[in-house]
Chains A and B, each alone.
Chain A
Amino acid sequence: MSHSVELQDVGMTFGKTRAVGDVSFTVEGGEFFSILGPSGCGKTTILRMVAGFLQPTEGKILIGGKDMAGLGPDQRPTAMIFQSLALFPLMPVWENIAFGLEARGVAKAERRRKADELLKLIALEGYGDRMPGELSGGQRQRVAIARALAVEPQVLLLDEPLSALDLKLRQHMRAELRALQKRTGVTFIYITHDQSEALAMSDRVAVMSAGVLQQVGAPRDLYDNPATPFVAKFVGETNAYPGIVRAIDGKTASIETAHGTMRGRAGPALAVGSKASLYVRPEALKAASVDNAVAATVDRFDFEGAFALIHARLPDGAPLVASVGSLDFADAPKPGETARFGFAPDHAVVLADG
């Protein structure tokens, strides 16, 4: 089992900028763990603190139960894959892969053998003597991974490694990364601003906003049970209707909005009389549903392939987005038509504003 990574109240301040504050989470050994958040929210800073390029200004980082304070990147059981990959352009592929072994004083023949073994693992057998510049984007990506795996790290740190690839290749590499992680059993900490990437690959995801940890959970959990308005809006598409909480009845909350009183599951720390919003996913909104129904006029029908998004407006102009599966297109309301959209209270969540 690979090492776990534990962050305890970790904070990082650059001069006056507080890039990361009070972040605590534990990545289990052998887990594929993602950190998801918009650009500038402190993801790279966290990764660089785990790698040892930055020492946190507050808190502690433990890898495999050992405090890493004061240890540099060369003294930690981690390997990092940089956003730019940072392959050495003047060394052939095999020397790139074997660089960590070279630094450890491994003899040349053994280095070559190990590099060839790793080239086989990443399906690039026979590419050892090429230069990195002669490879395609996806191949360079795999070489970077092999170079990191060559030093047999306990934890692999990946900083948006797929962001430079085109969509098709990105989707292919997602599956490959995931398979590689399963095969090697190495703990992966994967950074991305792309929520579909995080949801598709990870065992668990930590969502960050402006240096603050919002929620940690399994992808399904984040999607179905967002704990904060930020998570509800950032992970997947959602409709948000602000209002005042009027009643909480067990697990269900009633909220008075500009479009009438609606009911949804009560989120954490919700109080009657406080400001809150109701969040409902496009796929939960059904035309001709009886619950929580609102009337809306359809503006646009965006065909996306397997499904379509209906963009509509409520009477006061507030937007509403509903999705329909391609099999139900025939029954869906057309642009210009006014229809009633509703949702089951179970499929919506009410979260306190803030």
Chain B
Amino acid sequence: MGDVFKRFGGGLGTVFTALVLVWLAGMVLAPNITMIDYALRPNLPPSAIGGDQDVYSLSNILYLAGEDVHRAIFFKTIWASALVAFITFVVCYPIAYWLAQNATPNQTALVLLALTIPFWINEVLRTLAWYILLAFRGPLNEALLAIGIIDAPVRWFGDTGVLAGMVYAYILFMLFPIYNAIESLEKSQVEAAKDLGASTWRIHARVVIPHAKAGIATGCVFTFMLAAGSYVAPALLGAPGSRWFTQIIYNWFFEGGNWNRGAAYALVLLVLCLVVVLVTLKLARVNLTDVAK
């Protein structure tokens, strides 16, 4: 904080500090406090708001606990998000390792550019591209039919579609932290391990992954949070059997007309995400300041 004043002087420093505080209050605190407020109140007709029925209680949250279908979707969303994070990690780690340790600077620039360009368009449009690709009469089925891998078109929409769409959507959030972490690993560490006779597997398990642990934890946490809070991919690429918890929340707000219950559901999701993130970081012995970097 003192730095800000040192760097910009008293006047500008005060302005910047005030802007940050306004931003924190308006964009972070206010919505969250409102959400908690909504979550803990009953859903009442406008005339009854402020009346003697309008008291704080946990009934909205307990409703989720007692509602079997919603509860199942909730837990499925959590573990499916973990699965998305894991698959994204498996996809990204070899690419990140290759980019950071083996690729020439030109190759690195080219691949990173190729991976970044799709992110210049909106997430909805990107997911729409997968919608077209994975359609029942879409190019993927046509191609697989043409080369004879399948005999009849496959219905990709559902769990597979959602998984594919999410892994694709969040690949950069996994790739960059891991790439940065591996890039700072001295090449001779890998060479020394190899020289001492270590197998590829052991080199990664004992030298590269421990070094990149903070980056890997960061990538997994980002991807997990984004997946758990994702709406577009499940809405476009899902099927009735693959509903995501965010869709339930959406329904409470815009179809069920019960904002309070929607807010309660959102609050539960938020808290559980926070718990998962903190536990992951604790396990990886990474602190939050490392993640912020």
Binding site for B on A (CB under 8 A): 51-53, 72-74, 78-80, 82-84, 86, 88, 90-91, 99-100, 102-104, 147-148, 151
Whether B210 pairs with A90 at a CB distance below 8 angstroms is yes
The answer, yes or no, to whether B211 is at the interface (CB within 8 Å) is yes
What is the CA–CA distance of A79 and B191 in the complex, to the nearest angstrom?
A: 11
| Range, interface on chain B | 10 to 19
In the complex with contacts A90-B210, A90-B211, A103-B202, A73-B188 CB distance below 8 A: no
Determine how close the nearest CB of chain B comes to the CB of A117; give it in whole angstroms. Answer: 17
Whether B191 pairs with A88 at a CB distance below 8 angstroms is no
| Given A78-B195, A104-B197, 7 further pairs, Cβ under 8 A | A74-B195, A80-B195, A82-B192, A99-B206, A103-B199, A147-B192, A147-B196
Whether A79 pairs with B206 at a CB distance below 8 angstroms is no
> Considering the complex of A and B, which 4 residue pairs feature the smallest CB-CB distances, nearest first?
A100-B196, A86-B188, A86-B192, A103-B198
Determine how close the nearest CB of chain B comes to the CB of A351; give it in whole angstroms. Answer: 39
What is the CA–CA distance of A72 and B191 in the complex, to the nearest angstrom?
A: 11
In the complex with contacts A84-B186, A88-B189, A99-B196 CB distance below 8 A: yes
Set of chain A residues within 8 Å of B191, measured between Cβ atoms: 53, 73, 80, 82, 86
What is the CA–CA distance of A91 and B197 in the complex, to the nearest angstrom?
A: 17
Determine how close the nearest CB of chain A comes to the CB of B197; give it in whole angstroms. Answer: 4
B191 nearest CB neighbor, chain A only: A53
The answer, yes or no, to whether B272 is at the interface (CB within 8 Å) is no
How does the 8 Å CB contact mask read for B184-210 relative to A, with 1 for contact and 0 for none? 001011011111111100100011001
In the complex with contacts A90-B210, A90-B211, A99-B193 CB distance below 8 A: yes
Q: List 30 A-B contacts (CB under 8 A).
A: A52-B195, A53-B191, A53-B195, A72-B194, A73-B191, A74-B194, A74-B195, A74-B196, A74-B197, A74-B198, A78-B195, A79-B196, A80-B191, A82-B188, A82-B191, A86-B192, A88-B189, A88-B192, A90-B210, A99-B196, A99-B198, A100-B197, A100-B198, A102-B198, A103-B193, A103-B198, A104-B197, A147-B192, A148-B196, A151-B197
Whether B195 pairs with A79 at a CB distance below 8 angstroms is yes
A84 nearest CB neighbor, chain B only: B188
B187 nearest CB neighbor, chain A only: A86
Whether B197 pairs with A103 at a CB distance below 8 angstroms is yes
Set of chain A residues within 8 Å of B196, measured between Cβ atoms: 74, 79, 99-100, 103, 147-148, 151
Set of chain A residues within 8 Å of B199, measured between Cβ atoms: 103
- Residues of B32-74 whose CB lies within 8 A of A: none
What is the CA–CA distance of A53 and B199 in the complex, to the nearest angstrom?
A: 15
What is the CA–CA distance of A102 and B188 in the complex, to the nearest angstrom?
A: 19
Set of chain B residues within 8 Å of A102, measured between Cβ atoms: 198, 202, 206
Determine how close the nearest CB of chain B comes to the CB of A157; give it in whole angstroms. Answer: 9
How does the 8 Å CB contact mask read for B160-201 relative to A, with 1 for contact and 0 for none? 000000000000000000000000001011011111111100
Set of chain B residues within 8 Å of A84, measured between Cβ atoms: 186, 188
Set of chain B residues within 8 Å of A148, measured between Cβ atoms: 196
What is the CA–CA distance of A34 and B34 in the complex, to the nearest angstrom?
A: 74
Determine how close the nearest CB of chain B comes to the CB of A309; give it in whole angstroms. Answer: 39
Set of chain B residues within 8 Å of A73, measured between Cβ atoms: 191, 194-195
What is the CA–CA distance of A78 and B188 in the complex, to the nearest angstrom?
A: 16
Set of chain B residues within 8 Å of A83, measured between Cβ atoms: 188
Set of chain B residues within 8 Å of A99, measured between Cβ atoms: 193, 196, 198, 206
What is the CA–CA distance of A262 and B161 in the complex, to the nearest angstrom?
A: 89
- Residues of B223-278 whose CB lies within 8 A of A: none
Set of chain A residues within 8 Å of B194, measured between Cβ atoms: 72-74
Set of chain A residues within 8 Å of B211, measured between Cβ atoms: 90
Set of chain A residues within 8 Å of B189, measured between Cβ atoms: 86, 88
What is the CA–CA distance of A72 and B196 in the complex, to the nearest angstrom?
A: 11
Set of chain B residues within 8 Å of A51, measured between Cβ atoms: 195
What is the CA–CA distance of A147 and B186 in the complex, to the nearest angstrom?
A: 18
Set of chain B residues within 8 Å of A86, measured between Cβ atoms: 186, 188-189, 191-192
Set of chain B residues within 8 Å of A79, measured between Cβ atoms: 195-196
What is the CA–CA distance of A336 and B207 in the complex, to the nearest angstrom?
A: 63
A157 nearest CB neighbor, chain B only: B195
Determine how close the nearest CB of chain A comes to the CB of B183; give it in whole angstroms. Answer: 16
Set of chain B residues within 8 Å of A100, measured between Cβ atoms: 196-198
In the complex with contacts A73-B191, A82-B192, A103-B202, A88-B197 CB distance below 8 A: no
Set of chain A residues within 8 Å of B202, measured between Cβ atoms: 102-103
Determine how close the nearest CB of chain A comes to the CB of B66; give it in whole angstroms. Answer: 48
What is the CA–CA distance of A256 and B8 in the complex, to the nearest angstrom?
A: 72
Set of chain A residues within 8 Å of B193, measured between Cβ atoms: 88, 99, 103
What is the CA–CA distance of A90 and B188 in the complex, to the nearest angstrom?
A: 15
Whether A80 pairs with B198 at a CB distance below 8 angstroms is no
Determine how close the nearest CB of chain B comes to the CB of A125; give it in whole angstroms. Answer: 22
What is the CA–CA distance of A79 and B186 in the complex, to the nearest angstrom?
A: 18
What is the CA–CA distance of A71 and B199 in the complex, to the nearest angstrom?
A: 15
B207 nearest CB neighbor, chain A only: A88
Set of chain A residues within 8 Å of B206, measured between Cβ atoms: 88, 91, 99, 102
A73 nearest CB neighbor, chain B only: B195
Set of chain B residues within 8 Å of A78, measured between Cβ atoms: 195
Set of chain A residues within 8 Å of B192, measured between Cβ atoms: 80, 82, 86, 88, 147
Determine how close the nearest CB of chain B comes to the CB of A102; give it in whole angstroms. Answer: 8
B195 nearest CB neighbor, chain A only: A73
A99 nearest CB neighbor, chain B only: B196
B210 nearest CB neighbor, chain A only: A90
What is the CA–CA distance of A73 and B193 in the complex, to the nearest angstrom?
A: 10
